[in-house]
Amino acid sequence: MRYLPLTPDDRTQMLETIGVSSIDALFTDVPESARLDGPVDLPRKATELEVERAFAKMARKNLSAGEAPFFVGAGAYKHHVPATVDHLIQRSEFLTAYTPYQPEISQGTLQTLFEFQTQVARLTGMAVANASMYDGSTACAEAVLMASRVTKRKKAVLSGNLHPHYSAATATLAKYMDIEVETEGAAPGRADDLVKYIDDDTACIVVQNPDVFGHVRDLTALAEAAHAKGALLIAVVTEIVSLGLMTSPGEMGADIVVGEGQSLGVGLQFGGPYVGLFACRDDRNFIRNMPGRLAGETVDADGRRGFVLTLSTREQHIRRDKATSNICTNSGLMALAWTIHMSLLGEKGLTQLARLNHERAIELADRLAGIKGVELVTDAFFNEFTVKLTRPATEVVEALAQRGILAGVPASRLYPGQFETHLILAATETNTDGDLDALEAALKEVL
Amino acid sequence: MRYLPLTPDDRTQMLETIGVSSIDALFTDVPESARLDGPVDLPRKATELEVERAFAKMARKNLSAGEAPFFVGAGAYKHHVPATVDHLIQRSEFLTAYTPYQPEISQGTLQTLFEFQTQVARLTGMAVANASMYDGSTACAEAVLMASRVTKRKKAVLSGNLHPHYSAATATLAKYMDIEVETEGAAPGRADDLVKYIDDDTACIVVQNPDVFGHVRDLTALAEAAHAKGALLIAVVTEIVSLGLMTSPGEMGADIVVGEGQSLGVGLQFGGPYVGLFACRDDRNFIRNMPGRLAGETVDADGRRGFVLTLSTREQHIRRDKATSNICTNSGLMALAWTIHMSLLGEKGLTQLARLNHERAIELADRLAGIKGVELVTDAFFNEFTVKLTRPATEVVEALAQRGILAGVPASRLYPGQFETHLILAATETNTDGDLDALEAALKEVL
Amino acid sequence: QAEPLIFERGDFDNCGVDLPEPKGLKTRLDGLERKSAIGLPGLSEPETMRHYVRLSRKNYAIDLGLYPLGSCTMKHNPRLNEKLARLPGLSDIHPMQPQSTVQGAFELIGELAHWLMTLTNTPCVSMSPKAGAHGELCGMMAIRAALDARGETGRRRVLVPESAHGTNPATAVQCGFVTDEIPADASGRVDMEVFKSKLGDDVAAIMLTNPNTCGLFERDIKEIADLIHEAGGYFYCDGANFNAIVGRVRPGDLGIDAMHINLHKTFSTPHGGGGPGSGPTVFSEALAPFVPVPYVIQDGETWAMVEHEQEARDLSGGEPFGRLVAFHGQMGMFTRALSYMMSHGSDGLRQVAEDAVLNANYILARLRGEMTAAFEGTCMHEALFDDTFLKDTGVSTLDFAKAMIDEGYHPMTMYFPLVVHGALLIEPTETESKAGLDRFCDTLLKLTEAARDGDTGRFLNAPVHAPAKRLDETRAARSPVLTWREDETAQAAE
Amino acid sequence: QAEPLIFERGDFDNCGVDLPEPKGLKTRLDGLERKSAIGLPGLSEPETMRHYVRLSRKNYAIDLGLYPLGSCTMKHNPRLNEKLARLPGLSDIHPMQPQSTVQGAFELIGELAHWLMTLTNTPCVSMSPKAGAHGELCGMMAIRAALDARGETGRRRVLVPESAHGTNPATAVQCGFVTDEIPADASGRVDMEVFKSKLGDDVAAIMLTNPNTCGLFERDIKEIADLIHEAGGYFYCDGANFNAIVGRVRPGDLGIDAMHINLHKTFSTPHGGGGPGSGPTVFSEALAPFVPVPYVIQDGETWAMVEHEQEARDLSGGEPFGRLVAFHGQMGMFTRALSYMMSHGSDGLRQVAEDAVLNANYILARLRGEMTAAFEGTCMHEALFDDTFLKDTGVSTLDFAKAMIDEGYHPMTMYFPLVVHGALLIEPTETESKAGLDRFCDTLLKLTEAARDGDTGRFLNAPVHAPAKRLDETRAARSPVLTWREDETAQAAE
């Protein structure tokens, strides 16, 4: 087998050195009834070419975003990723390195994480950020747990317009920690009223901006209301490109900002691996209660600047059952992709990219609003918005898929049994005029 | 522009340091009438996404080998290249390095070239090999020039079954060096008689094995006949995989072996870049007359083994008009791909690969020979052979292409006006049983 | 060769991408346009390339040499897998596209699930978990849900061997359990007497790693399974060390109820400097009804994904404990892992386990005379040593490990598991050659001798041949600097 | 950290690929089956990966830092180009497929040809040449063919400035010409008086690099063109330095008859450790009839390739001088170059020339006070110094260059061009930042000072911070060891 360097001769010699007669002798601790005497019932080894062909066959059964006019969002967005990003994350020294527990031979990973943390903190308007989480939804759930630890309270209020997968992941994680989760009903196209839920038991309110329907809102009043009751405001951003154009959650008073970083560097990847962003205020208590890894600056024995993983006494491998979370993996390689893409963009590029996204969405919204049978539900938005159709959105989307157009996410797929005619559409810099033409024409046909 | 780091501010400051008022001041040596005052008439800068789309559009207009049952050979062969090869040749330190003129910081390139030379020499059965040529055809042409220098004779005899592109490239290069080129008529399916051409003016005879029609021959007698007259035998190998199974040209008495290395590591690439192999006997006069670069072993100031480019007094940058050739570029990156693929294969893998190729060709030949209207012309072959059809091969190939099958090369495309019904087909390890079925069925239809 | 930070090098006005000019449309952001600068430097593409290529060269990597981290399984990462994960038909698809347009993706997930269930002999797998610890959460939540469904509100104690990974107790706590530690016996395995004494009607489960973190197979595993089941609890198996037994032992045959599988360990998806991982979790019949959404199902030639709890209830009467994550798990890792598994096949995977165990035992055999093996006998896929051999040398486990860096190796896992003093845990994996292992053993023997000979400077100052000397971790933790600030430029320039 | 050769590490029985088992069919090789072993070691995939990754780290590269090789134009290699070159529709096509199945490939070649002709203002281009020197051959053969067509068998003398690349005289000789050298004048350009004196009816052509290898634009180029044409000869322009003028000056406007373009220089296809290159050659109307086969032609929406001389004669009355190479040239390089050109556009390419010249002049301005500039005034894309500043220091140009390695830089081009003593030729290219140039200049100034201050050890022993110390090139040439032999293992182990 091409990945196994031992030759039959090697094996014989090694068994001799070990002093056993056969490989079976090394497996004698396995209960006899559980020892398999031959391979399990699965195909035998395959050549590279065979494996490539099997995967190509599966790949051909999917309609990829690049092949179709594409308007699907709802928490994952198609953006163009520079070729440099994918090249760099395939560097052996990045791709095949482990967690940088040995800092002397991991400065590459550590410095990029430190740079990543700084970029995330600045972009979200916060003071500190960690070295990434699994994804946006788990970052959101962990933020609620952290808020509960920080405030020592046991209630979390979730906006109804928070991505339902995020709400579900949060509720699931909170459930057995005895954190009570309250949720307002969803309200496409407007900001739900969360202030009324805040009381003295409230650890945090969680609000997504732009929300899952694409609507944007000012969080300032909400932050003030929360703070007045001693609660924290957790802001969720699933389209991180929006922060190139919009006031940051930090500036609006958020205490913790979590986000899905997939838009930069990562690609669609059918849902994962993505990269969760996690940032918070500069408060010792906050930092000591953060989940996930942190890279920090220090000096080496010669006094030269260097970086290490730090504050690991929060973490499971040191604190075990007292840890702030059980996490022992970040999304390092995706964080690298994110930080490379962000370094290429810089402030100038990100701002321009955000503006292009916004403009494409405006153009799309105006075009669709002009179609009979389409009503624009979201009047303030970034690059995603919701329309109400005269037919069930699921049928419309399927009919458009048959025409080779990937038109968006029916709201009812996220909220089963609700919003049957609502369709959530995203536009990005990757959409051409031709894409807009195609959608407009096809939509007219199927409505 | 994304590749240009200078900012407008930088430019202003730098002009100041230089002491000129504008960039135009640096171009004043250009005759005024030749100074363009604006961009030429070509499109303006394009984003990555725009460029990607333009190329994807062109790519879609081609039928790629992987999409079709594929039997095209005639000097370039489709083999499976392990993913490791393409990954490694994209390592920054290999891809973006220059010619290793500074050996202290080029040991990576130099050692791989030294390993490459050794592999080529062993495979061809020769004592030494150079660090690669542009491709097989130019290697062939340079070998004739070298033979003329070594023997101080001015006549070259080319087999009629030498790939006509090789003959043409050789004749072109020989023409102005006043080397007379004689060629025998082509003879599909048999060894042409070259002995009769050898006389006391003959510098070399050039024979391809397997020849362009796929026929294999024993070169021993030819070598002896040539040597008897003081001429050299140059053996050409366009399908290097054949040497995994066949007696090497060196063992059959060749003095110089040239080859196209494309089959290993390189891929089809519509004709280039490929990698020319060049090997010869261990003879001081031969080596001093070789074209191209040579990596050689030496020691550094601490006495440790190291490698350098050597014997460069043969080369143009030292010897100028007295150089053995004007070449100052090899096919370094492709040589790297070749040597990586060969290191993965090793003797065991190469032998097995060659056998698989041979067997597929036998199966294909037998199947086709069973079709009414097909006559197998080549009885001894490696992975390529020629058949005679009842219709012009060009028509047949086009009809099969319409059916999505790439069926081979009509001999008349190589020999205009000749062999109209001859078709040259290659089979490799990449051909499935389904490919053979498809060709067989379709060929029955169109004949 | 210090590499400046991008904040010290880049420029807010520079940019390494080209984008079309915006048209200047009036925004519709309801007045939420950003008013202040962000502070993000941009670098041209050539500068970006160099920054990261140069930084990368400060890392060690499996592509450079042996990475003998016990319990972390750092093995060769085939580039075929990287290539296939980048097929546009697999990478450029959206998790919320119409299901009719992603049938191949569902098929791939289903195929991988089939391999995982077959290799473990279990009837069910959840593909959601994003990493191993996330898989533990998935498994323990299912256990909690099963207990809740049985109305067993009093079962909250989870037994955890002291050799367990830290994630085990941390996970148990996140599921509302308390942990109770079981010591190791003299052979490095669960002390069966203590284990039995701890069983009771408040016991929810045992979390056991097998082979355990001492590199030993828990001989009594079937008895443990029987006893925990008799006591009304469940058996969670930490699958971090599955590499040792894959293809030779099916955990389902040992009586486990749940086990996560680290695709980034046993099935070689790259660690990427700390992530992403992927931790699909298999379940027994008993726990299968509680698996979270989403999951794929097959109906004839058609695949579908069950995305909502209600849908799961309606379809199969299941009681999902919820949803762990947005979308469908680590698709990119699924592709790589399946490619790896298909490449090996059932015969190759069996060989993986055999060679992994053979390599570890070879190291144990070659070193046990000079370094102190923690336990008697042979081991599974990793060899555990304690620091007795360093006694009175003035060299600590840490110093010894750092000296290995100067010899060109990444250190082994240190100070874990906690059951032995100054642990050194070496896992070579099956992708190391005998010649490579010999060089490694020779080096360790040379270092052992140097320590014994009093050449302490070599250890205390190590590493000296590395991109950085030993780093001050205390300082980093005491006054944390977690982001770059303007005033650092001057400091850095000092 | 010596890396053993594969021959010292691999095994004839080991293999890093998996292949199906052959069926054991009887061979049809007419008795030519191989009878003896080849001697090719095989390595498993993980071992292969490490061998080459480790070797790569012994190389310098443009991705690591400045590569200031005069006349070689080492600039940033965008990865977009690598990605596009690997599109299966462009990379996985065979040069002898039916033309109807490769229309997109022909279109790409045609499009690139259009860009090259437009940028040079010429009516014709041959895409065959595999490298720059091959392009020279293409150009000079066309000139030879044109002369032969005119029956001018007496014109065999080619004028070549002494500053020319070695390829120029070598190429001329390969076309049956003899060369006649023209010295440089005091300003570093063609000595017009000598040039004029050498004109005559035996002159076939002049081969002139412009900007020349001193980094200077040949001010009198139009007069040179006129005079050589008047004398009945042709003007071959070596396009190696096209980077300095691309988008600002069209060589066709200067009166050239032929010029090769190094796609791997001006248009940034990677050098790959010495190749592949690609050297399309443009032609004036006078030489167009003689271009070699093959070439693409367009008829409405359809593309075709003219592959045979007779076909060319029949179609256009051309007289191709022959064929340079099998198939159609360096397609993989065409893709990369066209991607590069389209990315820049006509405006970006103009900026390339301007920034390249600006960067070179900035270096010249910053260094000319301490190092000795070879000529007065400004330069084009490269700055030439001689070794006067090293006089009496005991440090040679070579020593100075090797000391740069210890500072983390690749040396500049040394001892070329031959017109100045101990030349140091620096070409930064446009893809270097001002900050990067400043660091480079600071380093050179520091070295200059060190040389002046008598710190010769630093130079004579350099490099010390490199994968190898200075290598014994004389030994290598005196007793050449060009392949590995068995008995070397012992020697290497010493």
Q: Is the pLDDT of residue B317 over 90?
A: no
Range of lowest pLDDT (A323-327, D64-68, D324-328, D334-338): A323-327
Please indicate if any CB of chain A lies within 8 Å of the CB of B288.
Answer: no
Question: Looking at residue A421, what is its pLDDT?
Answer: 98
Contact yes or no for B429 and D20 at CB 8 A: yes
Interfacial D residues in 77-136 facing A (CB < 8 Å)? 78-80, 82-83
Which of D62, D79, D82, D87 is the best substitution to test chain A (most A C-beta atoms within 10 A)?
D79
If you measure CA to CA, which chain A residue comes closest to C33?
Answer: A246
Question: Would you say the C-alpha torsion D442, D447, D451, D454 has a positive or negative sign?
Answer: positive
A121 falls within a domain: yes
Q: Is the pLDDT of residue D487 over 70?
A: yes
Contact yes or no for D76 and C49 at CB 8 A: yes
If you measure CA to CA, which chain B residue comes closest to A430?
Answer: B49
Which of D44, D335, D339 is the best substitution to test chain A (most A C-beta atoms within 10 A)?
D44
Contact yes or no for B93 and D42 at CB 8 A: no
Under the banding of pLDDT at 50, 70 and 90, the label for residue D284 is very high
Q: What pLDDT digit, counting tens, does each position of B394-429 carry?
A: 999 999 999 999 999 999 999 999 999 999 999 999
Distance CA C25, CA A381 (A): 14
B409 falls within a domain: yes
Q: What is the CATH number of the domain that holds B379?
A: 3.90.1150.10
Interfacial B residues in 209-238 facing A (CB < 8 Å)? none
D203-209 vs D234-238, strand pairing mode: parallel
Contact list, D482 vs chain B (CB under 8 Å) = 114, 117, 128-129, 287, 294-297, 310
Q: Say yes or no: A403 and A441 in one domain.
A: yes
Contact list, B84 vs chain C (CB under 8 Å) = 78-80
Helix (H, G, I), strand (E, B) or coil at D324: coil
Of the partner residues A2, A45, A87, the one whose CB lies closest to the CB of residue D16: A2
Q: Say yes or no: B211 and B266 in one domain.
A: yes
Q: What mean pLDDT is predicted for residues B280-294? A: 94
Of the partner residues D45, D50, D75, the one whose CB lies closest to the CB of residue C64: D50
Question: Looking at residue A327, what is its pLDDT?
Answer: 83
A223 falls within a domain: yes
If you measure CA to CA, which chain A residue comes closest to B3?
Answer: A344
Q: How many CB atoms lie within 10 A of CB B39?
A: 18
B2 falls within a domain: no
Range of lowest pLDDT (A245-249, A288-292, B315-319, D163-167): B315-319
A37 falls within a domain: no
Under the banding of pLDDT at 50, 70 and 90, the label for residue D71 is confident
If you measure CA to CA, which chain B residue comes closest to D274?
Answer: B99
If you measure CA to CA, which chain D residue comes closest to C465?
Answer: D1
Of the partner residues A2, A48, A86, the one whose CB lies closest to the CB of residue D44: A2
Q: What pLDDT digit, counting tens, does each position of D197-248 carry?
A: 999 999 999 999 999 999 999 999 999 999 999 999 999 999 999 999 999 9
How does DSSP classify residue D190?
B
Question: Looking at residue B332, what is its pLDDT?
Answer: 96
Distance CA A140, CA A291 (A): 11
If you measure CA to CA, which chain D residue comes closest to C88?
Answer: D87
Q: Which parts of chain C register pLDDT below 50?
A: 489-490, 492-494
Q: Say yes or no: B274 and B226 in one domain.
A: yes
Interchain CB contacts (distance < 8 Å): B and D:
717
Contact yes or no for D50 and C63 at CB 8 A: yes
Q: Say yes or no: A267 and A360 in one domain.
A: no
| C70 within 8 A of C263, measured Cβ to Cβ | no
Interfacial D residues in 416-455 facing B (CB < 8 Å)? 416, 430-434, 436
Question: Shortest CA distance to D149 belongs to which of D200, D206, D204?
Answer: D204
Contact yes or no for B80 and A344 at CB 8 A: no
Interfacial D residues in 19-58 facing A (CB < 8 Å)? 19-20, 43-47, 49, 53
If you measure CA to CA, which chain B residue comes closest to A345?
Answer: B2
Provide the residue ranges of all domains of chain C, joining segments of one domain with +: 80-338, 350-475
Distance CA B296, CA D483 (A): 7
Question: Looking at residue C493, what is its pLDDT?
Answer: 41
Structure tokens at B43: 């499109």
Contact yes or no for B47 and C17 at CB 8 A: yes
Contact yes or no for C167 and A177 at CB 8 A: no
Mean of the per-residue pLDDT values of chain A: 96
Question: Shortest CA distance to B415 belongs to which of B446, B386, B440?
Answer: B386
B54 falls within a domain: no
Given this chain, do its domains C80-338 and C350-475 carry the same CATH topology? no
Residues in Cβ contact with B120 at an 8 Å cutoff, skipping those fewer than 6 apart: B126, B129, B261, B277, B278, B279
Q: What is the 3-state composition of chain D as percent helix, strand, coil, each rounded to the nearest 5?
A: 40, 15, 45
Helix D103-120 to helix B48-60 angle, to the nearest 10 degrees? 130
| D348 within 8 A of D267, measured Cβ to Cβ | no
Q: How many CB atoms lie within 10 A of CB C28?
A: 19
Q: Say yes or no: A222 and A203 in one domain.
A: yes
| A300 within 8 A of A306, measured Cβ to Cβ | yes
* Subunits adjacent to chain A (3 or more Cβ pairs under 8 Å): B, C, D
Contact yes or no for C45 and B48 at CB 8 A: no
Q: Say yes or no: A189 and A74 in one domain.
A: no
A18 falls within a domain: no
Which of B33, B326, B432 is the best substitution to test chain D (most D C-beta atoms within 10 A)?
B326
Question: Looking at residue D494, what is its pLDDT?
Answer: 40
Mean of the per-residue pLDDT values of chain B: 96
Contact list, D264 vs chain B (CB under 8 Å) = 329
Q: What mean pLDDT is predicted for residues A179-189? A: 94
Contact list, C18 vs chain B (CB under 8 Å) = 1-2, 45-48
Of the partner residues B9, B48, B83, the one whose CB lies closest to the CB of residue C83: B83
> Which of 3.90.1150.10, 1.20.1440.230, 3.40.50.10470, 3.40.50.720 would CATH assign to domain C350-475?
3.90.1150.10
Q: Say yes or no: B176 and B232 in one domain.
A: yes
Q: Is the pLDDT of residue A58 over 50?
A: yes
Amino acid at A207: V
Please indicate if any CB of chain B lies within 8 Å of the CB of D274.
Answer: yes
Question: Looking at residue C488, what is its pLDDT?
Answer: 58
Interchain CB contacts (distance < 8 Å): C and D:
50
Q: Is the pLDDT of residue D492 over 70?
A: no
Contact yes or no for B82 and A429 at CB 8 A: no
Range of lowest pLDDT (A253-262, A325-334, B120-129, D293-302): A325-334
Please indicate if any CB of chain A lies within 8 Å of the CB of B59.
Answer: no
Last residue of a domain, one of B341, B360, B383: B341
Q: Structural domain tally of chain A?
A: 2
Contact list, D11 vs chain A (CB under 8 Å) = 7
Q: Say yes or no: B316 and B268 in one domain.
A: yes
Please indicate if any CB of chain B lies within 8 Å of the CB of A80.
Answer: yes
The residue segments making up the domain with residue A161 are 83-341
Contact yes or no for C18 and B87 at CB 8 A: no
Question: Shortest CA distance to A177 belongs to which of C172, D109, B46, B396?
Answer: C172
Of the partner residues C1, C46, C63, the one whose CB lies closest to the CB of residue D49: C63
Q: What is the largest CA-CA distance in chain D?
A: 77
Last residue of a domain, one of A314, A341, A368: A341
Interfacial D residues in 360-379 facing B (CB < 8 Å)? 361-362, 364-366, 378
Question: Looking at residue A8, what is its pLDDT?
Answer: 95
Q: Say yes or no: B208 and B131 in one domain.
A: yes
| A97 within 8 A of A293, measured Cβ to Cβ | no
Residues in Cβ contact with D490 at an 8 Å cutoff, skipping those fewer than 6 apart: none
Of the partner residues B2, B45, B87, the one whose CB lies closest to the CB of residue C44: B2
Question: Looking at residue D488, what is its pLDDT?
Answer: 58
Please indicate if any CB of chain B lies within 8 Å of the CB of C5.
Answer: no
Q: What pLDDT digit, counting tens, does each position of B146-203 carry?
A: 999 999 999 999 999 999 999 999 999 999 999 999 998 999 999 999 999 999 999 9
Q: Say yes or no: B354 and B336 in one domain.
A: no
Contact yes or no for C326 and A97 at CB 8 A: no
Q: What mean pLDDT is predicted for residues A201-205? A: 97
Q: Say yes or no: B133 and B198 in one domain.
A: yes
Side-chain half-sphere of C78: how many Cα atoms within 13 Å?
A: 33
Distance CA A426, CA A75 (A): 10
Binding-site residues on chain C for chain D (CB distance < 8 A): 1, 9, 18, 44-47, 49-50, 53-54, 57, 63-65, 75-76, 78-79, 343, 408, 431-433, 435-436
Which CATH architecture does the domain made up of C80-338 adopt?
3-Layer(aba) Sandwich (3.40)
Please indicate if any CB of chain B lies within 8 Å of the CB of A429.
Answer: yes
Q: What pLDDT digit, counting tens, does each position of A60-79 carry?
A: 999 999 999 999 999 999 99
B23 falls within a domain: no
| Residue in the block written with tokens 């039959």 | A8
CA distance D333 to chain C (A): 20
Q: Is the pLDDT of residue B328 over 90?
A: no
Contact list, D78 vs chain A (CB under 8 Å) = 83-84
If you measure CA to CA, which chain D residue comes closest to C55?
Answer: D64
Which H, E and C letters describe chain A, residue by residue?
Answer: CCCCCCCHHHHHHHHHHHCCCCHHHHHCCCCHHHCCCCCCCCCCCCCHHHHHHHHHHHHHCECCHHHCCECCCCCCCCCCCCHHHHHHHCCHHHHCCCCCCCHHHEHHHHHHHHHHHHHHHHHHCCCEECCCECCHHHHHHHHHHHHHHHHCCCEEEECCCCCHHHHHHHHHHHHCCCCEEEECCCCCCCCCCCHHHCCCCEEEEEEECCCCCCECCCCHHHHHHHHHCCCEEEEEECCHHHHHCECCCCCCCCCEEEEECCCCCCCCHHHCCCCEEEEECCCHHHHHCCCCCCEEEEEECCCCEEEEECCHHHCHHHHHHHCCCCCCCCCHHHHHHHHHHHHHHHHHHHHHHHHHHHHHHHHHHHHHHCCCCEEECCCCECCEEEEEECCCHHHHHHHHHHCCCECCEEHHHHCCCCCCCEEEEECCCCCCHHHHHHHHHHHHHHC
